[in-house]
Amino acid sequence: MIGLRDTITLAHTKIRSKRLRLLMTTIVSGLVFGVMAGATVLVDGASHSLAAFARKNLDGRFLVQGSPNYFGGPSSLNPNDAALIAEVQKYHVAYIADRKAAAKRLGVEYDVRTEVLPYVEDTNPQVPPEYRKSVNFSSPAWLRYAKDHPVQASAKDEAAFRALVEPLGAREVYVPRDLSHLRLGMLLGGREDLTQAPSGDPPKALQTAIGQGSFTIVDDTLLKPFLARGQDSSAGSGVPVLITADDALVTFKEALGLSSRPKDPTAQVRWFQRLRDRVTGQTFVSCYRNEAELARVEQTRAQLAEVAANRGNRDYVAPELQLALPTTPCGMVTVTKDTRSAETKKAQDAVRAFEQEFNPQPEPRAELVTFQVVGLLPSPAPSTSGVDAVIGGLVGTNYGFGAVIPKDSLAALPEALRHDSLFALPAPETVDPFMGPMTQQNFIASFPRVEQARAAVADNSCMMNWTPRCDTMPFSLQTYGTNYLAVDDIVRAARPVIIALLAIAFAIATIIIWAMMGRVIADSRRETAVFRAIGAKRSDIVSVYLTYSLWVALRIVVFAAALGLLIAGTIHVLYAERATHMAQLAYAVFTPDPTFGFIGFRSPVLWLILGGIVAMSLVAITPPLLRNIRRNPIRDMRDE
């Protein structure tokens, strides 16, 4: 019987006698696994760094945004269905009856031929008869029908969102209010000239988010990291707003003499902090005009142009109702002269009332809103290639809003500055031909742990892979605020490739080690036969070669681990500081801790790779070893 010490000695002797072969096997196998180990260390380090910054950014909150999912529309709706067309036709008949009754009551003329038909008909003889007539989805009859027959599978409101995320671990739910439908256009320098319609490309300041009126009201809790120092309550002289660094630079650069963004990430951190201090407290004004008032502006422009064109024309009859453009910023069109008779006014009022009954429109409205900057949202420097683009994709932000109004700070303002009635105006309802009434309201959930947020997004998102259950999801979830799951998203997308590469790597390494072990065992047949002849058991022979195999595996593990650490360490040394500054800008975390790192050993994949090398070595040696110990030792000695 061969003891443990002798087993190790014999295995070590074989290691020393096959140095070149062992070296080649270690290098080839170690290169394959070392690269994969290095990638795993990089991914794990970056993932935990993102989570650390996200945790610091919002005091341990991991935010997830939910959007109503209308991905899977009903496949049963057939616009050519004769029964559906007949149902919509009934709504059309009822609609016409209502219109006739209203016209008779108000004493206005009404021509049924002006109405939009509930169906459209294709007269092309090449089209089969059953497909020539289809529902007209823009007709009033269809809109009435769609409201009475919603086909949404489930509710898309706050209660439904809470029912989804709270069992998954969400602690708070926030409901941001999108104000983009108000189209609050910024007035450059607080001035406005409506004498001519805009033409050509607008100035850069009007191409920004605040220039185009992209505002959203969000809870102060979610904006705390981006508020300027001392700005934790109402600003006092206007609606508080946080704008992006790029918007701030374009808007206030000339007035404040601001410097452009530097290229170096370290300098960008100082630039961002100085920019935030400079623009805090600055104000700008925006104008709201509803569709009715915008129509009056266009009507006034056309009327003034007509009057100017006919100046000196004695046959020209001026309009009975004469209008004038506003003379103050965001003012309203005024009536300068009204010579209409009482009968004409009554008739026009009746027509207006008739249209309002079936297509209600608000009264003309214009309102000037003063905003005051109370903080900056990050806007990473654009980078389309190179390392900065990769790092920027990892540490980037995903707030989805151009400018943000803190909800609690807004509520703390005096009533005269809050613009309650304006901000409460609802967005126009969207009626989809297939889904019926739709809402675009988004919701935000806060999770205390990154694992909970990751699971919520993974189970309620179809951004990476579509499955039939995507149709039944009431909401589609994604990270909100910061890309703390960016690495996870990349891994999920690349998971099939990673699994395939791992399988190929293990197969190649197994073949290499199998070939080497087979050659070693084949060369040692006489040696094995001698051991057997002097009384060594099969188990003794197996233990020697298993020890040899584990020794080989250990060398490959050490080589792969060292190579992986070298790869990750090199990336860390070269780019960790750069990534830290970019993350500080993205997350508005300017404290010494945390820092961004590319080295992490928590991933089970890393240990799977290293452990798999050992398992693979044992698998590779098994077939040639079994063949060897089953051979007749006398025959092997005679053959040698």
Total number of domains constituting the chain: 4
390, 407, 436 — which closes off a domain?
436
Average pLDDT over residues 528-547: 61
Asked if pLDDT for residue 72 goes beyond 80, the answer is no
Asked if pLDDT for residue 563 goes beyond 60, the answer is yes
Average pLDDT over residues 34-58: 81
d(CA 46, CA 394): 8
Tell me the average pLDDT of the chain.
80
Task: Indicate the pLDDT class of residue 286, thresholds 50, 70 and 90.
Answer: very high
Residue 187, number of CB atoms within 10 A of its CB: 19
Q: What is the dihedral of CA 276, 281, 282, 284, to 10 degrees?
A: 120
Average pLDDT over residues 95-113: 92
Residues 417, 553, single domain; the answer is no
DSSP string, 589-600: --SS-----S--
Average pLDDT over residues 341-356: 91
Q: What percent of the chain has pLDDT over 70?
A: 78
Report residue 228: phi and psi, to 5°: -65, 160
pTM for this entry = 0.76
The predicted pLDDT at position 292 comes to 92
DSSP string, 14-60: HHHHTHHHHHHHHHHHHHHHHHHHHHHHHHHHHHHHHHHHHHHHTTT
Long-range contacts of 318-327 (CB under 8 A, 24+ apart): 320/344, 323/296, 323/299, 324/300, 325/194, 325/195, 325/297, 325/300, 325/301, 326/192, 326/194, 326/366
Residues 226, 94, single domain; the answer is no
Can you read off the two tokens belonging to residue 505? 């790597």
The predicted pLDDT at position 424 comes to 92
- Pairing between β-strand 436-438 and β-strand 321-324 as defined by DSSP bridges: unpaired
Task: Indicate the pLDDT class of residue 4, thresholds 50, 70 and 90.
Answer: low
Higher pLDDT among residues 12 and 553, named by residue: 553
Task: Indicate the pLDDT class of residue 433, thresholds 50, 70 and 90.
Answer: low
* Residue 160 belongs to a domain: no
Residues 339, 377, single domain; the answer is no
The predicted pLDDT at position 507 comes to 76
Average pLDDT over residues 484-488: 70
The predicted pLDDT at position 606 comes to 78
Task: Indicate the pLDDT class of residue 143, thresholds 50, 70 and 90.
Answer: confident
Asked if pLDDT for residue 481 goes beyond 70, the answer is yes
Helices and strands, number each (H, E), in the chain: 19, 19
Asked if pLDDT for residue 638 goes beyond 60, the answer is no
Asked if pLDDT for residue 232 goes beyond 50, the answer is no
Overall size of the chain counted in residues: 640
Asked if pLDDT for residue 55 goes beyond 80, the answer is no
127, 148, 169 — which closes off a domain?
148
Of the listed ranges 225-234, 387-396, 526-535, the least confidently predicted one is: 526-535
The predicted pLDDT at position 379 comes to 75
Average pLDDT over residues 317-323: 91
Of the listed ranges 25-29, 93-97, 245-249, 625-629, the least confidently predicted one is: 625-629
Asked if pLDDT for residue 15 goes beyond 60, the answer is no
The predicted pLDDT at position 175 comes to 92
Average pLDDT over residues 252-263: 89
* Residue 75 belongs to a domain: no
Residues 113, 181, single domain; the answer is no
Compute CA 435 distance to the chain's CA centroid, rounded to the nearest angstrom: 24
The predicted pLDDT at position 194 comes to 87
Residues 303, 188, single domain; the answer is no
* Residue 449 belongs to a domain: no
* Residue 243 belongs to a domain: yes
- Helix H segments across 370-449? 386-395, 407-411, 415-418, 420-423
* Cβ atoms of 220 and 409 closer than 8 Å: yes
The one-letter code for the residue type at 321 is L
The predicted pLDDT at position 525 comes to 57
Average pLDDT over residues 204-211: 89
* Cβ atoms of 371 and 235 closer than 8 Å: no
Residues 589, 566, single domain; the answer is yes
Residues 91, 212, single domain; the answer is no
What pLDDT digit, counting tens, does each position of 406-429 carry? 999 999 999 889 999 999 998 887
Task: Indicate the pLDDT class of residue 126, thresholds 50, 70 and 90.
Answer: confident
Higher pLDDT among residues 108 and 539, named by residue: 108
The one-letter code for the residue type at 512 is I
Higher pLDDT among residues 547 and 452, named by residue: 452
Burial class (CB in 10 A: 0-12, 13-18, 19+), 544: buried
* Residue 388 belongs to a domain: yes
Asked if pLDDT for residue 378 goes beyond 90, the answer is no
Asked if pLDDT for residue 387 goes beyond 60, the answer is yes
Residues 281, 303, single domain; the answer is no
The predicted pLDDT at position 303 comes to 92
The predicted pLDDT at position 287 comes to 95
Task: Indicate the pLDDT class of residue 634, thresholds 50, 70 and 90.
Answer: low
358, 382, 416 — which closes off a domain?
358
The predicted pLDDT at position 396 comes to 67
Of the listed ranges 117-121, 183-187, 583-587, the least confidently predicted one is: 583-587
* Residue 514 belongs to a domain: yes
d(CA 511, CA 616): 10
Higher pLDDT among residues 84 and 28, named by residue: 84
Residues 405, 271, single domain; the answer is yes
Average pLDDT over residues 132-146: 88
* Residue 543 belongs to a domain: yes
* Ramachandran assignment for 535, one of left (phi > 0), alpha (psi -120 to 50 degrees), beta (any other): left
Asked if pLDDT for residue 553 goes beyond 70, the answer is yes
Average pLDDT over residues 270-286: 91
Asked if pLDDT for residue 458 goes beyond 80, the answer is yes
Residues 139, 204, single domain; the answer is no
What pLDDT digit, counting tens, does each position of 497-507 carry? 667 777 777 77
Average pLDDT over residues 328-334: 94
Residue 273, CA distances (Å) to 239, 269, 276, 519 in order: 22, 6, 5, 66
Residues 340, 379, single domain; the answer is no
d(CA 413, CA 175): 20
Can you read off the two tokens belonging to residue 121? 């008909």
- The residue segments making up the domain with residue 561 are 4-58+491-639
* Cβ atoms of 240 and 410 closer than 8 Å: yes
* Residue 167 belongs to a domain: no
Compute CA 397 distance to the chain's CA centroid, rounded to the nearest angstrom: 9
Residues 597, 495, single domain; the answer is yes
What pLDDT digit, counting tens, does each position of 168-193 carry? 999 999 999 999 999 998 998 888 88
Average pLDDT over residues 422-448: 79
Higher pLDDT among residues 7 and 246, named by residue: 246
Query: Is the N-terminal amide bond of 364 cis, ω within 30° of 0?
Result: no
Asked if pLDDT for residue 478 goes beyond 60, the answer is yes
Higher pLDDT among residues 544 and 436, named by residue: 544
